Structure 1
Amino acid sequence: MDPWVPLAPHAVAPHEPWQQRVRDALGTLKRGDLVGHLELAAALGPAAPRPAGGATRGLWELLATLGAHDLQLARAVEPHLDALAILDEAGSGAPTGSTWGVFAAEGPGARLTARPAGEGWVLEGTKPWCSLAAHLSHALVTAWVDDETRGLFALDLRGPGVRTAGADGSWVPRGLPDIVSTAIEVDGAGATAVGGPGWYLRRDGFAWGGIGVAAVWYGGAVGLARRLARPAGRPLDQVGHLHLGLVDQHLTAARATLAEAAALVDAGTVSGHEAAALATRVRSVVAAAAEGVLASCEHALGPGPQVGDAAYAAGLADLRLYLRQHHAERDLAALGRGSDEHGAWWSR
């Protein structure tokens, strides 16, 4: 079976050289092979489409395909491609062969600040929740330029003044266990500003990156659905067929939502608050669909494969944890608030 996950029904699977490289890699990469995962990320960087560049659907199909195969692989590649898209949008470049993360989270008791120094900037402090920081060469990090505004900066993670805190016994995930998030301690490290203060969150590309993550969720759900469609041992009974139908319903809704969003992004017809609303809407639809697929797989297949099929059990745990990046009811409340303030598309 072709591993490619299309977003258009009955579409002919594409075979561009970079897409064939993905197919070849999926046949050899093993779970937990972070070196191999990041090598694939670096190889895909120059060739993969950028959002809003006319081939957004192809980009999100790539992310879904990686997610369907192994969410840890997708979790390593997606932020690298997002970082390169941000750098392109800002008119900046990336060193050949570099691997990137995007570290924008904040946490209690941790603060990273930036101050001008000559023609560049100097960063000081602690940045929490830096996924794969010990394995990446570079990152885009947000840092406070004053009490109210953050800027975005390109940081060499292997340069002087940057130390990655080691993972300790508090890191105990059962999903995405190899995608370790640690703090980085920055002591006078030089950095390059990417866009002006506040630019990272204001740009429409922030919304497109959020939808890219939803494409990975969709792929993770497709991977589980494929396992349900090929049950080991006894065939599906009537209840199993009911859940297979539910899975079809969930995935069809998620796929159609992603495909429509890709067309809108490439057409350039949404921006500003409409871009943010589109991202929230798509992420909410895909997250609900993925949670529905999780429930149907567990109900239809029972406990057996959770204790006897390592890949299936890992897929369940990975997707559950990854979906918690979605803000769930908070995002729905924000979507409703935006509809109330600006008018929903269905009420105009």
Structure 2
Amino acid sequence: MSDLPTHWQAELHALMASESMPLDAATLAGATARLVAAFPVLPTPGAADTLARWQFLAEVAARDLSLVKIYEAHADARAILAELAPATRLEAPSLAGQPVWAVWAARSPGNELSFASRDGRHVKLAGTKAWCSGARFVTHALVTCVDTDGSDWLAAVSLDQPGVTVSARGWEAVGMDATQSVEVDFSDARATLVGNAGAYVRRPGFWHGGAGIAACWYGAASALAARLRDAAQRRDNPHLRAHLGAADVALAGARACLRECASTIDAAPLADAMRHALRARCAVESAVDSTLRACARGMGAAPLCRDRWFARMSADLPVFVRQSHAEADLAALAGAVLESGEDWRL
């Protein structure tokens, strides 16, 4: 397990210095394209550099959450293709022209893509996919879909084709507004199946990616806490320092969980990482809640009203972290703990 390479930090810093933060719906596409061009792939989870991968995502998140939302999905898609495509001797879809990938796997009741027809691994998809982040500018997507028997599949689809229509429906958010996570309609859209039925959620990398999302949450929370620390350095106020202490405790615990999770994944990349990933996600979610509270109570309204970056990050982070399933994740973690017989002795 290794830390983020120094040259990555330097290249990312130079790239982000040229962007005007926070990004909005008009500037996100260009910033994403430049980031993907500079860093088209990251180390695959479980290949000894999981921590470096997550540290990179956290660094991007510390600058702009909409940007990391799109970039993390691109990096996840590349990891999924590397994991599943060789297993079925499927050649990954062409990566010529530096595409920007999305992963659209969210589902809403009665609203899912289905096979309109199938010829081997080539299918045509029909239906509507909800929560499609970056739909207006990403070039390719991995989408979940179902066949006529109701089995779950993952398919790769080019978005620049007849039969794919990006709607204006389904996104009224203030936080994460720039991602424009609208609904996309498919009508006989050509796609290629990736992996076998059910493989998307059964593969080891499913939970690796889930923990990687938590690294994004962590990066944003740590950036907000840095502003709280800066305020405490300027003002000798005991209450402000108490809030800084609370944020430090929460973030240090979450960081330890992420590092332990990364180490565990690298030590056994094919093992079921659900328990470790859920623990990391829940720890980071708790740290996010604590940090947002500490910043608001410690610094008051001024940065929320007068600092555009801080205000945007504070609005984006609660929306982004709702990719957590809250108590459902805690209950799932409890089930894994009961099954494993967790021993909490030091």
Same fold (TM over 0.5): yes
Which of residues 15, 23, 30 is equivalent to 2:13? 23
Cα deviation 1:108-145 (Å, max 9, x = unaligned): 33121124225511111111111111111000000002
Residue 126 (structure 2) pairs with residue 124 (structure 1): yes
1:48 aligns with 2:42: yes
Which of 288, 291, 296 is equivalent to 2:289? 291
Q: Give the unaligned 5+ runs of structure 1.
A: 1-6
Greater displacement, 60-69 / 142-151: 142-151
Query: Does the Cα contact within 8 Å between 2:243 and 2:298 map onto a contact in 1?
Result: yes
Superposition pairs of residues 19-168 of structure 1, within 5 angstroms: 19-30=9-20, 31-32=23-24, 33-90=27-84, 91=86, 92-93=91-92, 94-96=94-96, 97-114=98-115, 115-117=117-119, 120-167=122-169
Q: Deviations over 1:15-65 (max 9, x none)?
A: 23x443211111111222212332134225544211111111110000100
Deviation at 1:234, TM superposition (A): 6.0
Task: After superposing the two structures, state which structure 1 stretch, 224-233 or 294-303, moved more.
Answer: 224-233
Q: In 1, distance between residues paired with 2:38 and 2:207?
A: 22
Q: State the shift of 1:270 in Å.
A: 6.5
CA contact (8 A) 1:130 1:183 kept: yes
Letter in 2 for 1:281: R
Unaligned residue ranges in structure 2 (runs of 5+):
none
Deviation of residue 187 (structure 1)?
1.0
SS of the aligned residue for 2:142 comes to strand
**2:306 matches 1:308:** yes
After the TM superposition, which parts of structure 1 deviate over 4 Å for at least 4 consecutive aligned residues? none
Aligned to 1:252: 252
Once the two structures are superposed, residues 186-213 of structure 1 have per-residue CA deviations (whole angstroms, 9 ceiling, x without a partner) of 1111111110010000011010101110
Counterpart Cα distance in 2 of 1:269 and 1:166: 40
- What are the residue-to-residue correspondences of 1:207-286 with 2, within 5 Å? 207-231=207-231, 235-268=235-268, 271-272=271-272, 275-286=273-284
2:155/2:194 contact within 8 Å kept: yes
**108-117 or 212-221, larger mean C-alpha shift:** 108-117
Could you tell which deviates more after superposition, 77-86 or 116-125?
A: 116-125
TM-score by length of 2: 0.90
- SS for the counterpart of 1:217 is helix
User: What is the aligned length?
Assistant: 333
C-alpha separation between the residues in 2 aligned to 1:111 and 1:344?
A: 37
| C-alpha separation in 2, matches of 1:309 and 1:202 | 43
On the 8 A contact 1:41/1:81 being kept in 2, the answer is no
What's the RMSD between the two structures over aligned residues? 2.1
Conserved 8 A contact 1:128-1:184: yes
Q: Is the 1:223–1:315 contact (alpha carbons within 8 Å) kept by the matching residues of 2? A: no
Secondary structure, counterpart of 1:160 in structure 2: coil
Deviation, 1:220, is: 0.6
> How far did 1:174 drift?
2.0
From 316, 319, 324, give the equivalent of 2:317. Answer: 319
